[in-house]
């Protein structure tokens, strides 16, 4: 999640351009129009110097926004949909502070000063004061330390509201930033002429004052203050990084891709965005960018204009990428329905003529899901939410309702209907029907009561009152075999093969008997008839994505084979395929498992719940299959038929080992019984 404040004219152009050797992608962009007075064009400098001017020429990235002395303030409360986090993780000396809270309704905003857009009532209604404020002497400061990137100037906004004093002029204190004096003898009464009145002040901290990668904000009582109760408070804190490379939000690369360095300048108030900071190569993580946009001028017909000129995305993340907007901005969602005036999307007549599945009226699905009650939700994906419902007098089904905010979802909707309507296999999830009434995108499938495979590996929540039982090694092999059969049918069973393009453990569903079925065909593609590949924009899920497909943008059935190889290691190790919390060499499961296997240490990451239950032969054959699937080049990977054969062989080896162990146990038991019987027949004394 990244959040920026930028200046823009009537038109805002968004560009996502990867750094060298990386990829660019985005899940969502949320744009909120804000008033000009939200940020000034100048602010006081720290260390003390002439005021810092020209803030309007910078993009500001919000790094910290804290509600001091209180809990999280949610976007639902903030008029600009901002989130204010609790200050607890950043308080350097919590023992020396005491939280104070008053009724937010008592907070007032002065004319010509702070407004609710600057900060909402709950921020000013909480504060941290000195814990020993009742003593006659205090010699420490309240302190908050936040980690930041070095090499940048930072805009800092402090929010104050005297909710602790009984009378005016009781509260006078000093403010320090990185131990440099920002304000000496701040008297809130002189600023607001009232108690419980909002006030804020702004600073720009020079990059030279950041020496340890952090910003320290402190408030403390003025020395020798002739007040009976020396005290200091802080209500809210915002820190924003000044990204000053031309047209770039990462501060280093402009839209031309050239390195600008930390001192690059921006020459235009019309900002083009590039190099989103969370683009991190193949181990990239999904995120949302929020842009708080200050429009220089807004024509009356502004809402009719297209605010988004282009996206430069060489890679589309799995499922939908969308743009939504708030605060007066309009959504960029192009209709694909042309000039149709009917209530349907126009698919139903086409599909009904082709005999492609049952058509459900929208009202029938409302009844089936109790009007799409949230209690009926059994899953959420990029396409939309999945509900459990009942049709035809009690038949349980899974009902996937597409999100109206997704343009890509329409393509997935069509693709899934067309693909599944011509596919029938024991190991593929069956499509029952669909609904496109009132521009809805709803798919109805057979219900898979045991849900996605991932939940059975590591997806269940801790302290769950009904934890999911651990899958045995034999069960895991059978699930992998079933999935391989489904994929093998896709690649070879139809007149023209089909490439799934999104093979992963969340798209392998299990029925009540743990029978595996491959699901989610929204990204599927017909395999080429003659040439060995089809050129297409890269789509898939990070961690499972075939690197050759990513490099060449040429899709083959071997891309599914690679993804399935990742699934095999995920089944063996029961951990996410991408885990950014781990050391760098362990982040990517497939790479880490292959490295350990080459060193002979693969047992280190095998799921501890099944360690000791896998026969050596079965494990060797299973890992051999996974390793071949992950070959760097598709031509070196086996087909799904070969993968299936190896997995079936691994199961036979496991069953043979289990049978041998059972026979050995029986033999041992018989020997023990015979030995015990001989002892019983031994005479107690010599016969005469």
Positions at the binding site:
400
Structure tokens at 341: 């005036």
Beta-carbon contacts of residue 488 (< 8 Å; ≥ 6 apart): 639, 640, 641, 643, 644
d(CA 528, CA 332): 33
DSSP state of 458: I
Which residues contribute to the annotated binding site for ATP?
400
Angle at 391 between CA 513 and CA 371, to 5 degrees: 110
Beta-carbon contacts of residue 465 (< 8 Å; ≥ 6 apart): none
Three-class SS state of 234: strand
By CB atoms closer than 10 A (0-12, 13-18, 19+), residue 639 is: middle
d(CA 152, CA 243): 7
Q: Residue written as tokens 């599909």?
A: 351
Q: Which helix (H) or strand (E) holds 145?
A: strand 142-147
- Picking from 580, 568, 551, the residue whose alpha carbon sits closest to that of residue 503 is 568
Structure tokens at 432: 């029952």
d(CA 239, CA 146): 9
Alpha helices in 493-588 (DSSP H): 547-552, 557-573
SS (H, E, C) 344-357: ECCHHHHHHHHCCC
Going 607 to 608 to 613 to 618, the CA torsion angle's sign is: positive
Buried b or exposed e, range 399-426, using 16+ CB within 10 angstroms:
bbbbbeebebbbebbbbbbbbbbebebe
502 is a catalytic site residue: yes
C-alpha to C-alpha distances, 57 to 8, 49, 250, 461, nearest whole angstrom:
10, 20, 15, 47
Alpha helices in 575-639 (DSSP H): 589-598, 616-629
Phi and psi for 585 in degrees, rounded to 5?
-75, -10
Three-class SS state of 231: coil
Three-class SS state of 435: strand
Q: Which residues pair with residue 233 across a beta bridge? A: 129
> For residues 6 and 293, is the Cβ–Cβ distance under 8 A?
yes
Of these residues, 78, 87, 436, 502, which one is catalytic? Answer: 502
d(CA 538, CA 552): 9
DSSP state of 282: G
d(CA 634, CA 549): 9
Three-class SS state of 600: coil
d(CA 296, CA 378): 45
d(CA 649, CA 214): 57
> For residues 608 and 467, is the Cβ–Cβ distance under 8 A?
no
d(CA 507, CA 502): 8
Q: Which helix (H) or strand (E) holds 147?
A: strand 142-147
C-alpha to C-alpha distances, 175 to 49, 66, 187, 532, nearest whole angstrom:
16, 17, 11, 68
Catalytic residues: 502
């Amino acid at each position: 999640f990244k959040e920026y404040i930028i200046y823009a004219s009537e038109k805002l152009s968004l560009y996502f351009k990867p750094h060298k050797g990386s990829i660019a992608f985005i899940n969502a962009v949320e744009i909120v129009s804000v008033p000009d007075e939200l940020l000034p064009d100048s602010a006081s400098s720290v260390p003390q110097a002439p005021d810092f001017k020209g803030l309007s020429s910078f993009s500001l990235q919000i790094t910290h926004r804290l509600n001091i002395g209180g809990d999280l303030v949610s976007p639902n409360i903030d008029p600009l949909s901002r989130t204010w986090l609790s200050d607890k993780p950043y308080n350097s000396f919590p023992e020396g502070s005491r939280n104070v809270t008053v009724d937010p309704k008592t907070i007032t905003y002065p004319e010509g000063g702070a407004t609710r857009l600057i900060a909402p009532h709950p921020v000013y209604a909480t504060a941290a004061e000195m814990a020993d404020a009742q003593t006659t002497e205090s010699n420490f400061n309240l302190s908050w330390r936040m980690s930041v990137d070095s090499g940048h100037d930072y805009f800092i906004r402090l929010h104050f509201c005297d909710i602790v004093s009984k009378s005016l002029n009781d509260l006078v204190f000093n403010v320090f930033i990185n131990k440099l004096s920002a304000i000496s003898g701040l008297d809130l009464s002189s600023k607001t002429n009232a108690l419980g009145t909002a006030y804020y002040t702004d600073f720009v901290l020079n990059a030279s004052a950041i020496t340890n990668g952090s910003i320290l904000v402190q408030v403390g009582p003025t020395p020798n203050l002739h007040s009976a109760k020396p005290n200091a408070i802080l209500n809210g804190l915002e820190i924003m990084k000044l990204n000053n490379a031309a047209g770039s939000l990462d501060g280093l690369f402009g839209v031309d891709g050239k390195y600008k360095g930390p001192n690059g300048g921006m020459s235009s108030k019309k900002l083009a965005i590039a190099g989103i900071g969370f683009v991190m190569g193949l181990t990239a993580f999904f995120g949302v960018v929020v842009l708080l946009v200050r429009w220089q001028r807004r024509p009356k017909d502004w809402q009719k204009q297209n605010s988004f000129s282009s996206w430069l995305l060489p890679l589309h993340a799995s499922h939908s990428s969308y743009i939504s907007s708030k605060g007066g901005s309009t959504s960029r969602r192009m209709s694909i329905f042309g000039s149709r005036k009917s209530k349907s999307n126009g698919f139903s007549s086409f599909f009904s003529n082709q005999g492609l599945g049952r058509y459900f009226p929208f009202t029938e699905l409302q009844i089936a899901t109790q009007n799409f009650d949230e209690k009926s939700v059994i899953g959420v994906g990029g396409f939309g939410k999945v509900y459990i419902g009942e049709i035809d007098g009690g038949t349980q089904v899974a009902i996937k309702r597409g999100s109206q905010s997704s343009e890509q979802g329409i393509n997935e909707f069509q693709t899934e209907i067309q693909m599944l309507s011509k596919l029938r296999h024991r190991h593929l999830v069956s499509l029952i029907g669909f609904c496109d009434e009132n521009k809805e995108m709803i798919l109805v499938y057979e219900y898979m009561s045991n849900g996605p495979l991932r939940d059975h590996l590591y997806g269940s929540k801790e302290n769950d009152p009904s934890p999911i039982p651990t899958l045995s090694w034999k069960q895991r092999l059978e699930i992998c075999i079933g999935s391989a059969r489904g994929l093998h049918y896709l690649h070879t069973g139809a007149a023209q093969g089909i490439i799934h393009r999104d093979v992963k453990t969340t798209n392998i569903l299990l029925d009540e008997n743990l029978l595996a079925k491959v699901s989610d065909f929204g990204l599927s593609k017909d395999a080429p008839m003659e040439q060995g590949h089809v050129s297409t924009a890269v789509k898939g899920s990070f961690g499972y994505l075939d690197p050759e497909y990513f490099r060449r943008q040429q899709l083959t059935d071997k891309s599914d084979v690679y993804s399935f190889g990742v699934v095999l290691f995920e089944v063996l190790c029961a951990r996410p395929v991408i885990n950014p919390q781990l050391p760098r060499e362990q982040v990517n499961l497939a790479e880490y498992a292959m490295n350990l296997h080459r060193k002979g240490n693969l047992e280190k990451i095998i799921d501890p719940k099944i360690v000791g239950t896998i026969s050596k032969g079965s494990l060797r054959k299973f890992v051999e299959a996974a390793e071949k699937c992950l070959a760097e080049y598709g031509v070196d990977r086996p087909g799904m038929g070969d993968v299936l054969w190896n997995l079936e062989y691994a199961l036979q080896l496991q069953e043979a080992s289990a049978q041998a162990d059972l026979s050995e146990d029986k033999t041992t038991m018989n020997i023990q019984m015979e030995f015990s019987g001989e002892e019983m027949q031994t005479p107690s004394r010599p016969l005469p």
